[in-house]
Every structure is written in structure tokens, then in C-alpha cells.
Amino acid sequence: MPRTAHIERNTAETQIELSLNLDGTGASTLSTGVGFFDHMLTHIAKHGLFDLNVSCKGDTHIDAHHTVEDVGICFGKALAQALGDKKGIRRFGDCTLPMDDTLATAAVDLSGRPYLVWRADVPLETLGTFSSQLAEEFWRAASSAGAFNLHVLLHHGRNTHHIVEAIFKACARALRAATEPDPRAAGVPSTKGVL
């Protein structure tokens, strides 16, 4: 069965079309109107080995907040849709990722329960038109809409670009590990029998 999803979301603030293939090659086509955010989404695709296509027309004349948050909602929904009943997946994934001055850890549980723990003191800075605080908003929206636990820990870092990029790469790697098929597991990876 292909593990793919297609999500459309239209509001007064954003019009989004997003497609996701969990068993892709890391290919992406991205157009959100927020350059740095497109750069971060590229890392989700590349390091998650997901094929990810995102088209978003948002109210970026106000700021990037609605665009980033709503794409996060769509990404989370697509992840849940593509995973289906979650039979045969690893469920858990983590990654500690160095990037120059920065070290970040992300840990994921595809539990069916949304929860975000964000222990990352990201310096407030605007990267292009992307406020660094929007990194947390994206992952909060994704974990909530996708119903998964995500813990993000920034061990250290000085450069804001490196910090945000390391977090996105670590999250992508953790999701890749959690969504991968486990050749030794046939059913749902839970004693409850459902996730």
C-alpha cells in the first residue's frame, strides 16, 4: 500500500495544497512565499526521505505566522493520513544532530496523542521574513494535527540560522526513523493493539 497523503486547506488566511509520500527519495517542490521556511521544508523532505510538495498562498503581507502554522497543520494531517493504521512501523524515532556551533535533539513517538515539549531557547531573530519563534509554532501545529509526541531539546548553539535548521533536520531524521517499516513487526506497535 502506498503511504501517501494529499491535504487541501482553505481559510480566509491561507490556501494550502500539500502532498506527502513517506517512502520517497527526499524530493520536494515548495512554494509558501516565505523563503527561509521553504528552506526548512526542504530539510524535512531531504532528511526524512519524504517526497513533499507544498503550495501555499497566505497573508504574508501581515507576517508569516498563519502560513507557517497552517502548513504545520497540513503536514501533521498528511503524516497521520499516510501512516494509516500504523501497522508495521517502528513508532519511535530520535536524532541528535550537530550543526557547527549547534547541537539539537528531537525524539518522536507516533502514539496517536499530541504533545510537544520544546526545550529550545531560540534567539529572537528574523531570518528573511521568518521569525525564529515560528519554528516552535510549526512543530506545535504538526504534532497536534498529526497526533504525535515530539520532544525538542537544544543543547547549545549561538547562530539562530543554525539552531532552527538543526532542529528541523533532527525532527526530520526522528520522523524518518519512526515512520520506517520494521521488518520484525507485523502489527501495530502497541500493547493496546491500536495507535
Query: What whole-number distance in Å separates Cα of residue 152 and Cα of residue 94?
Result: 10
**Contacts with 30 (C-beta within 8 Å, 6 or more apart), sequence order:** 38, 41, 42, 52, 53, 54
Task: Return the CATH fold of 4-179.
Answer: Ribosomal Protein S5; domain 2 (3.30.230)
Give residue 135's pLDDT.
98
Place of cell 521569525: 131
Q: What is the pLDDT of residues 39-69, one digit of tens each?
A: 999 999 999 999 999 999 999 999 999 999 9
Q: Stretch 1-26: mean pLDDT, rounded?
A: 97
Reported pTM:
0.98
Q: What is the pLDDT of residues 163-180, one digit of tens each?
A: 999 999 999 999 999 999
Three-state SS at 133: coil
Annotated domain spans of the chain: 4-179
Question: Residue 97's beta-bridge partner residues?
Answer: 104
Give residue 21's pLDDT.
98
Residue 72 has pLDDT above 90, yes or no: yes
Q: What is the pLDDT of residues 98-157, one digit of tens each?
A: 999 999 999 999 999 999 999 999 999 999 999 999 999 999 999 999 999 999 999 999
